[in-house]
């Protein structure tokens, strides 16, 4: 079954609800129950450490966003938010554009926010200064946006990511990334999903991006756990283990307590992708899922 | 205590996390626990009817959005999403704008989506056609965006709304709106929050908007339950009971089974505002909240 056929089946069963936009779907109550259970599972399997649980809205400060190199690396995935700030006269001009079926964006101005593309991107700008401890650990979860319309239901434009983020020294952040490759594989086994860990790269844009991607792979900074989410192939990344080195520490002026630049690492769980992989592997009737999987999700 | 002082206290206690943007805040784990409990409370108090539970992402199809009169009525609250769709050459132009500290929006194009301003706005476009039953009932919840920067923590730009939506004939939808005014007051009493129901209007834009607002009040189409969320005054709407008449039925061509235009009504619960009202009334230590309130939220 190809991914388009799988999407049709999800639509037909009411598990996903089409909106006319590839990658933007409503979710059934059952789908949401699985998403919620997966978030709780991440909390349980990470409980051997203490995490500061923080939740951010799906938006990020434009100024903080401009402080990163996201526009350099992923301009095509960006979601910049624009709004109308004019008076009655300007409003009439806006409505005339809309009525004419024309592009009405010239009547808008940039708002103070952009859409977040990763749950952890909202965190780093709040940590400018010196870390409160040698190592700080955050549990984050929220909606992310990436403009990559696709008929593959596992490639949504708006989706949730649950993240475990560590900031501190090089050894600690490297260990976090390393540790969670195996832990991620264990999570997949407990969900009875096929999985393998592969060296990966972010989808850097354009000619310069190819060099960045090659560098990232060479240093093995990104390890993805892939599974079969919308086809039989193990091609969909569902858990991503990333070492950022001093990338965010430099961008947001975050220091360790001994005065060095803070290093960071994160492991991200794609909640919609994991849910799709479960639905594909175990069927659309959650009550009929293998008892081991149900016990893992709803202990 | 004024709302700015209350916001400072929320920041100091780490209940809300500043982002540098008025109306955009991170939430502590405790804040999220209350939001989650309030959503579950809405589910419990509405359990005498069967609701189709659906969840939408924080984005809406641009085309569906253009099919409403939102740009006519609330242009200033809009969040239009724009992205980069160019090649390497255009990318260099984009980065030059960013480096110069200039407005880089001219390098972007409108994406297929806009931010949702109400949880139910994503639903109506999916119902084009004839309703599946004489009356259909939906339980929705999700992040909404309204561009109205404010230092009042109860006026966020990005917040969650839990909604109970009914579509059907005039009597049923009117009854839904009426019924939930009293039920909403009962919910407030169970949370030990002061509350009153008042006739209200949406913040329609500009000169024409004043006429629309007056008409809405005259027909009493919007009843808000207000409470003290960020000051001692009962001025913050936390539950909103709305009769849309055929507004969405016409816009999205939704018919009842007997061939009439579908009427709709919704009751929306502002989850962040309710949480703030609870924190203001009962203190920042949730474990110390009155036992009746705790039993209501965590039965």
Whether residues A80 and B105 touch (CB distance < 8 A) is answered with: yes
Whether residues A59 and B145 touch (CB distance < 8 A) is answered with: yes
Distance CA A177, CA A172 (A): 9
pLDDT at A276: 98
Q: What is the dihedral of CA A132, A133, A135, A140, to 10 degrees?
A: -40
Minimal CA separation from A54 to chain B, in Å: 5
Mean pLDDT computed over B283-299: 98
Q: Which two tokens stand for residue A237?
A: 């990344």
Chain A 212-241, residues with CB within 8 Å of chain B CB atoms? none
Minimal CA separation from B149 to chain A, in Å: 9
Whether residues A20 and B64 touch (CB distance < 8 A) is answered with: yes
Facing B112 at nearest CB: one of A72, A122, A149: A149
Q: How many distinct helices (H) and strands (E) make up chain B?
A: 10, 14
What are the structural domain ranges in chain B? 3-79+117-297, 82-115
pLDDT at B14: 98
Q: Which two tokens stand for residue A180?
A: 């969670």
Q: Which string of b and e fits A54-65 if b means at least 16 CB within 10 Å?
A: bbbbbbbbbebb
ipTM score assigned to the predicted complex: 0.97
Q: Which string of b and e fits A95-114 if b means at least 16 CB within 10 Å?
A: beebeeeeebbebbebbbbb
Calculate the average pLDDT of chain B.
Answer: 97
pLDDT at A1: 86
Minimal CA separation from A113 to chain B, in Å: 8
Q: For the domain made up of A3-79+117-297, give the CATH fold.
A: BirA Bifunctional Protein; domain 2 (3.30.930)
Q: Which residues of B touch A66 (CB under 8 A)?
A: 98
Q: The tokens 């480096």 sit on which residue?
A: B99
**B165 close to B135: Cβ distance less than 8 angstroms:** no
Query: B271-282 and B3-12 are packed helices; what angle lies between their axes, rounded to 10 degrees?
Result: 90
**Count of pairs with CB atoms under 8 A, one residue in A, one in B:** 204
Q: Catalogue the E-assigned strands of B51-210.
A: 52-55, 59-61, 80-83, 109-115, 129-130, 136-145, 158-168, 196-199
In this complex, is the C-beta atom of B93 within 8 Å of any C-beta atom belonging to chain A?
A: no
Mean pLDDT computed over B231-238: 96
Whether residues B112 and A143 touch (CB distance < 8 A) is answered with: no
Distance CA B20, CA B146 (A): 17
Of B160, B193, B151, B156, nearest to B7 (Cα)? Answer: B151
In this complex, is the C-beta atom of A129 within 8 Å of any C-beta atom belonging to chain B?
A: no
In this complex, is the C-beta atom of B27 within 8 Å of any C-beta atom belonging to chain A?
A: yes
pLDDT > 90? residue B266? yes
Chain A 239-268, residues with CB within 8 Å of chain B CB atoms? none
Whether residues B66 and A98 touch (CB distance < 8 A) is answered with: yes
Query: Chain A residue with minimal CA distance to B18?
Result: A126
Facing A17 at nearest CB: one of B28, B126, B207: B126
In this complex, is the C-beta atom of B81 within 8 Å of any C-beta atom belonging to chain A?
A: yes
Q: The tokens 């966020």 sit on which residue?
A: B156
Distance CA B88, CA B95 (A): 10
In this complex, is the C-beta atom of B95 within 8 Å of any C-beta atom belonging to chain A?
A: yes
CB atoms within 10 A of CB B206: 18
Query: Chain B residue with minimal CA distance to A124?
Result: B19
Look at phi and psi of residue B144 and say left if phi exceeds 0, alpha if psi is from -120 to 50, else beta. beta
Distance CA A288, CA B105 (A): 50
Whether residues A81 and B80 touch (CB distance < 8 A) is answered with: yes
In this complex, is the C-beta atom of B64 within 8 Å of any C-beta atom belonging to chain A?
A: yes
Per-10-residue mean pLDDT, chain A, length 299:
96 98 98 98 97 98 93 97 97 95 95 97 98 98 98 98 98 97 98 97 93 92 96 96 97 97 98 98 98 98
Q: Which residues of A touch B156 (CB under 8 A)?
A: 57
Residues 6 or more apart in contact with residue A102 via CB below 8 angstroms: none
Q: Which residues of B touch A59 (CB under 8 A)?
A: 24, 145, 157-158
pLDDT at B240: 98
By residue count, chain B amounts to 299
Q: Which residues of B touch A104 (CB under 8 A)?
A: 71, 80
Q: Model-level pTM?
A: 0.97
Distance CA B289, CA A148 (A): 45
Distance CA A218, CA B67 (A): 49
pLDDT tens profile B51-62: 999 999 999 999
Chain B 162-221, residues with CB within 8 Å of chain A CB atoms? 205-207
Of B69, B60, B58, nearest to B144 (Cα)? Answer: B58
Q: Phi then psi for B74, rounded to 5 degrees?
A: -140, 50
Q: Which residues of B touch A110 (CB under 8 A)?
A: 103, 105
In this complex, is the C-beta atom of A43 within 8 Å of any C-beta atom belonging to chain B?
A: no
Of B75, B59, B58, nearest to B114 (Cα)? Answer: B59
Mutation target among B81, B150, B275 for the A interface, most CBs of A within 10 A = B81
Minimal CA separation from B183 to chain A, in Å: 24
pLDDT band at B133 (very low <50, low <70, confident <90, very high): very high
pLDDT at B1: 85
Whether residues B98 and A71 touch (CB distance < 8 A) is answered with: yes
pLDDT band at B160 (very low <50, low <70, confident <90, very high): very high
Facing B157 at nearest CB: one of A55, A94, A113: A113
Q: Which residues of A touch B53 (CB under 8 A)?
A: 28-29, 32
Distance CA B14, CA B3 (A): 16
Whether residues A111 and B79 touch (CB distance < 8 A) is answered with: yes
Q: Which two tokens stand for residue B134?
A: 């004489």
Facing B82 at nearest CB: one of A77, A80, A88: A80
Query: B29-45 and B170-190 are packed helices; what angle lies between their axes, rounded to 10 degrees?
Result: 130
Of A117, A104, A58, nearest to B115 (Cα)? Answer: A58
Distance CA B167, CA B5 (A): 42
Q: Phi then psi for A105, rounded to 5 degrees?
A: -65, -30
């Amino acid at each position: 079954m190809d991914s388009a056929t799988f999407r049709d089946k999800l639509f037909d069963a009411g598990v996903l609800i089409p909106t006319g936009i590839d990658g933007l779907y409503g979710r059934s109550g059952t789908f949401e129950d699985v998403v919620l259970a997966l978030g709780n599972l991440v909390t349980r399997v990470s409980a051997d450490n203490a995490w500061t649980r923080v939740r951010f809205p799906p938006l990020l400060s434009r100024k903080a966003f401009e402080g990163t190199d996201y526009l350099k690396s992923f301009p095509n995935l960006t979601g910049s938010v624009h709004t109308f700030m004019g008076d009655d006269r300007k409003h009439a001009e806006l409505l005339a554009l809309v009525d004419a079926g024309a592009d009405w964006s010239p009547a808008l101005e940039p708002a103070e926010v952009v859409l977040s593309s990763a749950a952890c991107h909202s965190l780093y700008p709040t940590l400018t200064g010196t870390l409160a401890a040698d190592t700080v650990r955050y549990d984050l979860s929220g909606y992310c946006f990436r403009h990559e319309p696709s008929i593959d239901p596992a490639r949504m434009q708006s989706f949730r990511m649950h993240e475990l983020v560590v900031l501190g020294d090089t050894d600690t952040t490297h260990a976090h990334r390393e540790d969670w490759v195996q832990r991620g594989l264990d999570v997949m086994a407990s969900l009875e999903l096929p999985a393998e860990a592969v060296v990966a790269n972010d989808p850097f844009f354009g000619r310069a991006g190819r060099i960045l991607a090659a560098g990232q792979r060479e240093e093995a900074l990104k390890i993805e756990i892939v599974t079969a989410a919308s086809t039989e192939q193990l091609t969909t990344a569902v858990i991503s283990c990333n070492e950022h080195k001093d990338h965010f520490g430099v961008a947001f002026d975050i220091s360790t307590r001994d005065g060095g630049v803070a290093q960071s690492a994160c492991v991200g769980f794609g909640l919609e992708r994991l849910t799709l992989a479960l639905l594909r592997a175990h069927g659309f009737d959650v009550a009929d899922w293998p008892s081991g999987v149900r016990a893992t999700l709803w202990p």
